[in-house]
Structure 1
Amino acid sequence: MIPSFLPLFLLLSLIQFSKPAENNPSKPNIILIFADDLAYGDLGIYGAKGWKTPNLDQLAKDGTRFTQFYVPHAVCSASRAALLTGAYANRLEIFGALDHTAKHGLNPEETTIAEMLKSQGYQTGMVGKWHLGHLPEFLPTRQGFDHYFGLPYSNDMWPKHPEAKDYYPPLPLIEQEETIALIEDQRELTTWYTAKSLEFIESNQNEPFFLYLAHSMPHVPLFVSDKFKGKSAQGLYGDVMMEIDWSIGEIRKKLTELGLEENTLIIFTSDNGPWLSYGGHAGLTAGLKEGKGTSWDGGIRVPAIFTWPGTIPAGGVQTQAAMTIDILPTISEITQAPLPHLTLDGSSIWSLVQGKKGEPIKPYFAYYNTNELQAVIFGKWKLVFPHTYRTIPEGTIPRNDGLPVKYTQIKLEDPQLYDLSKDLGESTDVSQANPEILKLLNDFAEEARLELGDALTGRTGTGNRKAGRIQP
């Protein structure tokens, strides 16, 4: 259970976070906020109904929001590896969602955003869900973060999992590399993460800092503090969303209080789409097809907001496609931090963040399962390859009690080309009417197969690297 000393511990740890240094205004502070299973339609400004997100909506109005922003993998660990390294996770041998039995994690030889920024004198902190290896060798403190407070993996990986009772051990809450509590009640998790984030910001206000806040919510099981219990019209999921929104508001208030708002870049996005089998405990696809665990847009298209008052124009809406692998190179361009020496897959989208319009920059690939190339995206075009995916059977009555319904598997027999500008729900194959586009996207896919491989076509890539592993 949570020990009674934890709130005091949170306060005392402010001392631990403190390190006096001179402010360097030429280097912006960077706050990267990564929600868990938050869907494309979960923010008011993206069309949410049943709850309000005024702070996130204002964040978007104060900067640029993307309407076609993707993750390359619709699952926890793989998505996080791609975010922090700027490389497809299958290049790094990180697949799926690592649990407490994993003997591997993100290879310490990889360079994370935190490590890249430390070379520029940044203080680095990580709060929340890590999920790139729970063993000490793979924790955030070994991947460039000076400070860490959070969970080593998903919040459902505990003894109360509805489909795997007693498979998981007690859920550890970790500070640096020490387990400080075993969690039995998650109601205060978002509050703790917020408090830790505010402490880190205040402690490092006189020097450039990078804060990576990875909220565990709104991943199931859903928990909310008494501050927001019963506040939304929708129910528990809406309450959780309102508390996440509150957290973002608290962070912006702290920046304003300390005079840091105009020297801080905030990036907000999500690791994948909603876990639809949980019904009322899952988010809103806003018309996108399917959800988490698939390479349809409902699984991989997510909200994305970039805000930096005085530098990023307010009120921007970017319709050009981009992906989380582009965040590391974008931060590199902003801070002039040297890029990692290992091959990356992302590229800077700083011009898009600042409002530039134009033709697609490059293709993006959606990999799932163990190195299956399931789709390629180029601007408004998306080519989906034959593969088997999960869906909820038609006629299934959704639940609203925290228990999932069962998926069924469907096999897509033929490639499908979609014009996403006209067909948000990926319902109409336009391959025959667009043979040149079809060939172009197939050519892109062949390049990816050569470099990264593809289990669906039996290909082995030439550019894959190894995950970090503990030798038996």
Structure 2
Amino acid sequence: MRFKNSIYLSLFTALVGFTSCQNSSSETETPETPDKPNIVLIFADDMGYGDLGVYGATQWKTPHLDQLAADGVRFNQFYVPHAVCSASRAALMTGTYANRLEIFGALDHTAKHGLNPEETTIAEMLKANGYATGMVGKWHLGHQAPFLPTEQGFDSYYGLPYSNDMWPHHPEVKDYYPPLPLYQNTAVIDTLDDQSMLTTNYTEKALEFIEQSKDQPFFLYLAHSMTHVPLFVSEKFKGKSEQGLYGDVMMEVDWSVGQVRKKLEELGLADNTMIIFTSDNGPWLSYGGHAGLTAGLREGKGTSWDGGIREPGIFVWPNHFPAGKVENQAAMTIDILPTLAEITGSKLPDLPIDGRSILPMLEGQEMEPKPYYAYYNRNELQAVIYGKWKMVMPHSYRSIPEGTVMRNDGIPVKYHMLNLDKAALFDLSSDPNETTDVAAKNPEIVAQMNQFAEQARADMGDALTESEGSNLRKHGAIEE
């Protein structure tokens, strides 16, 4: 196979709210921290906004995650830009909207493309600054050789190349998928028919990486396959929650976080390690008792309502970020890369990115709001978020019909499609569940949000309005 790659890059950077943080931040390394902090980024899968005790869960316990929140900054409005696996992960890894990079949906075993190697990932950025880089867990940015984690800045990789339901036992498309491959670096070392030890094995590999990297700055990306269906849990947590299997799985993910923190403490690394915890999108509600909680937010995974894109967001860095702070300013996963660049004194990517450093916010300061965008499907601009305001654009979205009897056996119920015929404005500070359209009462806000939307359409396009963006780049592709 030979790698086929083309990049379309424009210098169009004048639009408000885009391509921030383009200058190197090497001069801004935190003066009181001569040693670069270790970075541990923990990314859950399909976890709901209400799945942590500190965010409202009551039928299972998450003491380690609750303690993590008590030790750092907990966001009330922390977003992903895409409510689906691959797109969300591309945005996280690059600080750039995935639709700009031509990554949509959830790549499966038939995909001949992936994240373009010419994009700079968090791992590549930090590796260039002397960091050891390791990934454990779900990748989902291309399973072909040129797109695997070890080709995208990670020194080592252990995990699944895509979602854990992409296997022969899928409840709706049996025998479509091949056996589920488990990778060590670039080699398939096993195929899984039982995933009950997956969270435990991920945790053990993460601890090994920390131990092996303790003498230099390191970046660990721990991307749990849980709580994505099919749900599996080890014997040590089976039957431990009041809720059932989903609660058991949540408790094991929480245990994993505790194990990572314990290892950091044992090695004397806790005070110089920054930990970030969030998830790729909201819960897959059609799976009923096998799905997480939105804490009352509207809809779930696969939609741009807040139930699909608002996630737990916890940032901990002892003696740097205030402990126990609840942050009400809006931020997004695209902000993680530029924030880490500023903290570590790393050079930002050469290609334009969309996130900005939220380090001042994490240190307790107010920042000017910026527009954030929620894209879904094939480049549909479905929502604009600006501070406490959110405008949802006319579009079709999936929902569970009222009165549906939900299941608790890993078999999903059927969605139906609803149409939002007119743009709606919501004040999330008073209406986080997006129940009351206040557009008529706030014409000046509507005008501002429409202006942001037009800027996004000119920059990245919008299939809903048949707009073509002028600053799009290509995914990486292979041909045999």
Q: Of 208, 216, 226, which aligns to 1:207?
A: 216
Deviation at 1:458, TM superposition (A): 0.2
Q: Of 454, 469, 472, which aligns to 1:461?
A: 469
**How far apart, CA to CA, are the structure 1 residues paired with 2:58 and 2:258?**
20
Deviation at 1:189, TM superposition (A): 0.1
Which secondary structure state, in structure 1, belongs to the residue aligned with residue 43 of structure 2? strand
**How far apart, CA to CA, are the structure 1 residues paired with 2:55 and 2:215?**
35
Q: Using a 3 Å threshold, how does the CA distance of structure 1 residues 25 and 196 change in structure 2: closer, same or farther?
A: farther
Q: Using a 3 Å threshold, how does the CA distance of structure 1 residues 413 and 248 change in structure 2: closer, same or farther?
A: same
Deviation at 1:25, TM superposition (A): 5.5
**How far apart, CA to CA, are the structure 1 residues paired with 2:118 and 2:199?**
31
Deviation at 1:311, TM superposition (A): 1.4
What is the identity percentage for the equivalent residue pairs of Structure 1 and Structure 2? 71
Which secondary structure state, in structure 1, belongs to the residue aligned with residue 464 of structure 2? coil
2:280 matched to 1:271?
A: yes
2:120 matched to 1:111?
A: yes
Q: Of 436, 445, 448, which aligns to 1:428?
A: 436
**How far apart, CA to CA, are the structure 2 residues paired with 1:451 and 1:245?**
40
Partner of 1:76: 85
- Report how many aligned residue pairs link the two structures: 448
**How far apart, CA to CA, are the structure 2 residues paired with 1:464 and 1:32?**
27
Q: Which runs of 4+ in 1 moved over 2 A?
A: none
Superposed, 1:53-68 pairs within 5 Å as 53-68=62-77
Partner of 1:388: 396
Give me the CA root mean square deviation: 0.8
Kindly provide the amino acid, as one letter, of the partner of residue 424 in structure 2.
Answer: Q
Kindly provide the amino acid, as one letter, of the partner of residue 154 in structure 2.
Answer: F
User: Any conservation in 2 of the 1:317–1:355 contact (CA below 8 Å)?
Assistant: no
Which secondary structure state, in structure 1, belongs to the residue aligned with residue 247 of structure 2? helix
2:258 matched to 1:246?
A: no
User: Any conservation in 2 of the 1:384–1:417 contact (CA below 8 Å)?
Assistant: yes
Higher relative contact order by CA 8 Å / sep ≥ 6: 1 or 2? 2
2:380 matched to 1:379?
A: no
Which secondary structure state, in structure 1, belongs to the residue aligned with residue 385 of structure 2? strand
Superposed, 1:328-367 pairs within 5 Å as 328-357=337-366, 360-367=368-375
2:466 matched to 1:470?
A: no
Partner of 1:15: none
Kindly provide the amino acid, as one letter, of the partner of residue 247 in structure 1.
Answer: S
Partner of 1:143: 152
**How far apart, CA to CA, are the structure 1 residues paired with 2:268 and 2:144?**
38
**How far apart, CA to CA, are the structure 2 residues paired with 1:237 and 1:172?**
24
Q: Of 297, 300, 308, which aligns to 2:317?
A: 308
Deviation at 1:361, TM superposition (A): 2.1
Which secondary structure state, in structure 1, belongs to the residue aligned with residue 215 of structure 2? coil
**How far apart, CA to CA, are the structure 2 residues paired with 1:429 and 1:309?**
41
2:241 matched to 1:235?
A: no
**How far apart, CA to CA, are the structure 1 residues paired with 2:34 and 2:478?**
41
Partner of 1:14: none
1:19-53: CA deviation from partner (whole Å, max 9, x where unpaired):
xxxxx961000000000000000000000020000
**How far apart, CA to CA, are the structure 2 residues paired with 1:284 and 1:351?**
30
Deviation at 1:312, TM superposition (A): 1.1
Q: Which moved more, 1:305-314 or 1:277-286?
A: 305-314
Kindly provide the amino acid, as one letter, of the partner of residue 320 in structure 2.
Answer: T
Q: Of 22, 29, 35, which aligns to 1:26?
A: 35
Partner of 1:7: none
Deviation at 1:427, TM superposition (A): 1.1
Deviation at 1:354, TM superposition (A): 1.4
Partner of 1:49: 58
User: Any conservation in 2 of the 1:25–1:263 contact (CA below 8 Å)?
Assistant: no
Which secondary structure state, in structure 1, belongs to the residue aligned with residue 135 of structure 2? strand
1:127-167: CA deviation from partner (whole Å, max 9, x where unpaired):
00000001111000000000000000000000000001000
1:182-224: CA deviation from partner (whole Å, max 9, x where unpaired):
0000000000000000000000101000000000000000000
1:318-352: CA deviation from partner (whole Å, max 9, x where unpaired):
00000000000000000010100101000000111
Kindly provide the amino acid, as one letter, of the partner of residue 469 in structure 1.
Answer: A
User: Any conservation in 2 of the 1:278–1:404 contact (CA below 8 Å)?
Assistant: yes
**How far apart, CA to CA, are the structure 1 residues paired with 2:252 and 2:439?**
44
User: Any conservation in 2 of the 1:63–1:308 contact (CA below 8 Å)?
Assistant: yes
Which secondary structure state, in structure 1, belongs to the residue aligned with residue 479 of structure 2? coil
**How far apart, CA to CA, are the structure 2 residues paired with 1:313 and 1:353?**
8
**How far apart, CA to CA, are the structure 2 residues paired with 1:206 and 1:145?**
17
**How far apart, CA to CA, are the structure 2 residues paired with 1:173 and 1:410?**
38
Partner of 1:127: 136
Q: Of 167, 180, 185, which aligns to 1:176?
A: 185
**How far apart, CA to CA, are the structure 1 residues paired with 2:141 and 2:369?**
29
**How far apart, CA to CA, are the structure 1 residues paired with 2:285 and 2:258?**
28
Which secondary structure state, in structure 1, belongs to the residue aligned with residue 440 of structure 2? coil
Kindly provide the amino acid, as one letter, of the partner of residue 357 in structure 2.
Answer: S
Partner of 1:6: none
TM-score normalised according to structure 1 size: 0.94
Partner of 2:308: 299
**How far apart, CA to CA, are the structure 2 residues paired with 1:140 and 1:331?**
19
1:357-401: CA deviation from partner (whole Å, max 9, x where unpaired):
35x420000000000000000011000000000000000011000
Kindly provide the amino acid, as one letter, of the partner of residue 364 in structure 2.
Answer: G
1:76-124: CA deviation from partner (whole Å, max 9, x where unpaired):
0000000000000000000000000000000000000000001110000
Task: Mark the runs of 5 or more structure 1 residues left unpaired by the alignment.
Answer: 1-23
Deviation at 1:356, TM superposition (A): 1.6
2:264 matched to 1:255?
A: yes
Kindly provide the amino acid, as one letter, of the partner of residue 383 in structure 1.
Answer: M
Partner of 1:317: 326
**How far apart, CA to CA, are the structure 1 residues paired with 2:264 and 2:305?**
37
Kindly provide the amino acid, as one letter, of the partner of residue 402 in structure 1.
Answer: G
1:211-270: CA deviation from partner (whole Å, max 9, x where unpaired):
000000000000000010000000000000000000000000000000000010000000
Partner of 2:427: 419
Which secondary structure state, in structure 2, belongs to the residue aligned with residue 172 of structure 1? strand
Kindly provide the amino acid, as one letter, of the partner of residue 370 in structure 2.
Answer: K
TM-score normalised according to structure 2 size: 0.93
Partner of 1:18: none
